[in-house]
Amino acid sequence: MSKAMQHAGTVPSLSETPRLFPSPRYPAVAVSGEDALYPIHRVFCVGRNYADHAAEMGVEVDREAPFYFLKDAQAIVDSGSTIAYPPGTANYHYEMELVIALGRSVFRATAEEAERAIFGYAAGLDMTRRDLQLDARAKQRPWDLGKNFEASAVMALITPASEVVKIGPQRISLLVNGDVRQDAHLSDLVWSPVEIVVHLSRFYHLAPGDLIYTGTPAGVGAVAAGDVIRGEIDGLAPVELVIGAAE
């Protein structure tokens, strides 16, 4: 391959020429046991990765391959935040998810390469404007309005993969104001973290800083201003969110 050839992961201009206005800053999240933060590059999300959740949405899991949507890195907010009830929706939902944080570049990864590329795991919330997502789905339009909006991805601190037991037996659960709404195990994942990284790396030059939200179990539901959300995965830091008033 010629040195001038750029792959799809190459940024067009990183020159130091002054910008017309300040460049957007990429967010970063804390890592357990580390002083340095983990900078976020891209946010991939897997759709329908638990059979029970697909069923409650009136669809089936596609067993041939996972599918994806993306959120902007700037949509990430820290666990413990209070975020305003978002505009344009009357059916704002939580989705509790295991988040994969990549620490190495991988392209067309083998299972072994995928495993090595996983830097760590975190508890996350894929906040969703369900009415807009379902309207888009019905009209066969993209999901962006329902999924990719400000503060729509919440994330707790990352635990290094070396400190996490093999993904499977961990309980994944979510409480709203102390009531359990989602309760499953990571062994219920249709596509495992390694399988997801192997598959996604056929389509993207995955890189350090890339996050993958791995889908939510059954029990999704609406929240309102004043609600307190807490999501837990055994062995990981919990993710917490408070819903504020609409702006």
Closest approach of Mn ion to the CB of residue 1, in Å: 36
Which residue, 96 or 118, has its beta carbon nearer to Mn ion? 96
The rounded distance, in Å, linking the Cα atoms of 61 and 136 is 19
Using CB under 5 A, count the residues that bind Mn ion: 3
Neighbours of 72 (CB within 10 A): 18
Q: Which stretch in 1-9, 63-71, 95-103, 158-166 sits in contact with Mn ion by CB under 5 A?
A: 95-103
Q: Tell whether residue 174 is a contact of Mn ion (CB under 5 A).
A: no
Per DSSP, 147 falls in state H
Q: Which stretch in 17-25, 59-67, 121-129, 201-209 sits in contact with Mn ion by CB under 5 A?
A: 121-129
- Say how many CA atoms lie within 13 Å of 178 toward its Cβ: 0
**Type of residue found at 219:** G
- Of 212-241, which residues contact Mn ion (CB under 5 A)? 216
The rounded distance, in Å, linking the Cα atoms of 240 and 224 is 15
Q: Strands (DSSP E) along 92-213, which ranges?
A: 92-94, 96-102, 118-126, 128-129, 153-155, 159-160, 171-176, 179-185, 211-213
Q: Tell whether residue 95 is a contact of Mn ion (CB under 5 A).
A: yes
Neighbours of 31 (CB within 10 A): 18
Closest approach of Mn ion to the CB of residue 126, in Å: 3
Number of H helices, E strands in the chain: 5, 18
Which residue, 9 or 238, has its beta carbon nearer to Mn ion? 238
Which residue, 159 or 216, has its beta carbon nearer to Mn ion? 216
Q: Tell whether residue 152 is a contact of Mn ion (CB under 5 A).
A: no
Closest approach of Mn ion to the CB of residue 216, in Å: 5
Which residue, 152 or 159, has its beta carbon nearer to Mn ion? 152
Q: Which stretch in 19-27, 33-41, 208-216, 226-234 sits in contact with Mn ion by CB under 5 A?
A: 208-216
Query: What sign for the dihedral angle of Cα 88, 150, 42, 238?
Result: negative
Which residue, 95 or 240, has its beta carbon nearer to Mn ion? 95
Q: Kindly list the residues in this chain that would bind Mn ion in the complex (CB under 5 A).
A: 95, 126, 216
